[in-house]
Amino acid sequence: MWTPPERIRHMLPEPEWPSAEDAASARLFQPLTLQSGCTLSSRTWVPAMVPWRATSEGECTPELLEWYGRFAEGQPGAIVVEATGIRDIPSGPLLRAGHPRFIPGLQKLVATVRERSDGRTRLFIQLIDFLRIRRRPPPARYFERFFRPSEAHRQRLALRTGDSQWETASDIALRDFLTHSEDDTHRDILTPREYDSLTRGDRERVTDTHLAHIRDLPAQLPALFANAAKHCQEAGFDGVELHYAHAYTMASFLSRRNNRDDGYGETLEGRLRLPLEVYDAVRAKVGENHVVGCRILGDEIIEGGSGIEDTREFGRRLAERGMDYLSISAGGKFEDARKPRVGEAIYPYTGQSGYECMPTVRSDSRGPFGRNLPLSASIRETIRDHGMSTPVVGAGGIQTFSMAEQALAGGDADIIAAARQSIADPDWWRKMREGRGEEIRRCLCTNYCEALDQRHQQVTCQLWDRKGLEEPGVQLSKDGKRRLNAPPETPDTPA
Ligand SMILES: Cc1cc2nc3c(=O)[nH]c(=O)nc-3n(C[C@H](O)[C@H](O)[C@H](O)COP(=O)(O)O)c2cc1C
Ligand code: SF4
């Protein structure tokens, strides 16, 4: 895990929990109606989180229903269901919506949340497209299967070794030499892209327009997103969230690093084109009375990536087009992710950009709490300056009532999202609203849950996953060592 150069261990902020009376008049607990007519009972929000509980065919499971049922008991204004694949292709245990056969499972999810929240929680689902990534290969496999020897490689090797015989060496000799070479030789001889594939696993990019399926993404994606959105609408969801953030396809189109020269890259206009076209296709399919929002990055936090100047404009243009809300995240990119071990896949939440996405208590002087609110504030300001009232969702280390209330009062966001605090205590929103803040189990912001996500293991929280394993009906992790959901509420569970 990347840690900032300054490694200050921050204390959790002192909470000041409201009485039930104060909560009733607090901004956080006021309703909010989105443009398409959907009313949130409060400005509280559980953002998308993949808990690794779907089947390997992308279907809902009892464990997944329980995960969302447990969040629903906290009665947030909205829950956004995890990143859900739009294509009908095998995607490991990632939830999917790319075919009508997924509708019955998704219907159960909707019914569970309606019932367990007493109808107080609106349910959205995050739709994602992603490109192929391969696991990091052993060097022998890389040089045998993927490496294409060229004149340039031979010349660089001759130069590096001072041995001109390499200029005419056979492919076999070159592959063999490189297989047994050290990292600095690989760095010198391979192109940056080849070196990346060797040390991080091969990864497709939206700029690989020499590949037909990448070139055709603008032709394919609007319909794929729209059909998946329709399936979710038929399953009863209140809306969809288009995943335009982090390491995935749509964020890569928006990125300043996108230099596609087919009208879908290079300029700000070009980079926005596909995200707007996807929105149009989805909106046309689900109609005006269904929520369509999106998640974007306020800053990619990578060299050459989009910063706030770009993202303010993205926010404005997406709001103008009719998005019901904009949810703002930061970072979470492949470009700066740590090299995975051989046999493992790269994980976009490991480098600096990953840190900024889910900041921990080991931080620089700014600390992790509310760290990304300046980004949502800035995008919101732009939207307001252009006369629009599109709500902006802020996230990132928000875990007390006063932080949430101040963020709303100060115009940093219109809706407060909390991911890890909601894992730590899914009941925390309701406890706050009912004046029982002292009972909240507080997230420690140390990212044990994120480490499980990194290994694609069922996500749980260190604060509760070893407690009461033998209680009747408790769902356990595959290895039987952890409970999968927070224990039912008890009146004495402060952190
Ligand atoms: C286990 C885990 C899985 C996540 N999965 C997603 C996801 O599917 N889509 C997404 O946009 N963000 C995802 N996130 C990021 C969160 O939605 C959120 O932006 C981030 O954790 C920062 O908020 P927090 O400080 O309240 O945790 C995930 C976070 C965690 C901890
Ligand atoms: S595992 Fe740690 S970071 Fe994750 S929710 Fe629990 S306390 Fe928070």
Global confidence as pTM = 0.96
Ligand 2 binding pocket includes 443 (Cβ within 6 Å) = yes
Between the CA of 442 and the centroid of ligand 2 the distance, in Å, is 8
CATH number (3.20.20.70, 3.20.20.330, 3.30.540.10, 1.25.40.10) of 8-133+209-454 reads 3.20.20.70
For residue 453, the ligand 1 atom closest to its alpha carbon is: 1
For residue 450, the ligand 2 atom closest to its alpha carbon is: 4
Ligand index nearest the alpha carbon of residue 393: 1
User: Which of 82, 240, 250, 358 has most ligand 1 atoms within 8 Å of CB, for mutation?
Assistant: 358
Reported in sequence order, the residue ranges of 245-324 that DSSP labels E, i.e. its strands, are 291-297
Between the CA of 420 and the centroid of ligand 2 the distance, in Å, is 6
Between the CA of 425 and the centroid of ligand 2 the distance, in Å, is 9
Ligand index nearest the alpha carbon of residue 458: 1
Ligand 1 binding pocket includes 396 (Cβ within 6 Å) = yes
Between the CA of 450 and the centroid of ligand 1 the distance, in Å, is 9
Q: Which of 274, 285, 225, 267 is nearest to 251 (CA)?
A: 274
In angstroms, rounded to a whole number, what is the distance separating the alpha carbons of residues 401 and 414?
14
Q: β-pairing, 8-9 with 362-363? A: antiparallel
Cα dihedral sign, 36-293-418-297: negative
* Closest CA to ligand 2's atom 6: 461
Q: What is the residue-level pLDDT of the chain in tens, covering all 495 positions?
A: 667 777 899 999 999 899 999 999 999 999 999 999 999 999 999 999 999 999 999 999 999 999 999 999 999 999 999 999 999 998 888 999 999 999 999 999 999 999 999 999 999 999 999 999 999 999 999 999 999 999 999 999 999 999 999 999 999 999 999 999 999 999 999 999 999 999 999 999 999 999 999 999 999 999 999 999 999 999 999 999 999 999 999 999 999 999 999 999 999 999 999 999 999 999 999 999 999 999 999 999 999 999 999 999 999 999 999 999 999 999 999 999 999 999 999 999 889 999 999 999 999 989 999 999 999 999 999 999 999 999 999 999 999 999 999 999 999 999 999 999 999 999 999 999 999 999 999 999 999 999 999 989 999 999 999 999 999 999 999 999 999 999 998 655 444
464: helix, coil or strand? coil
Domain ranges in the chain with CATH number 3.20.20.70: 8-133+209-454
**What is the Cβ-side half-sphere exposure of residue 155, based on CA atoms within 13 angstroms?**
4
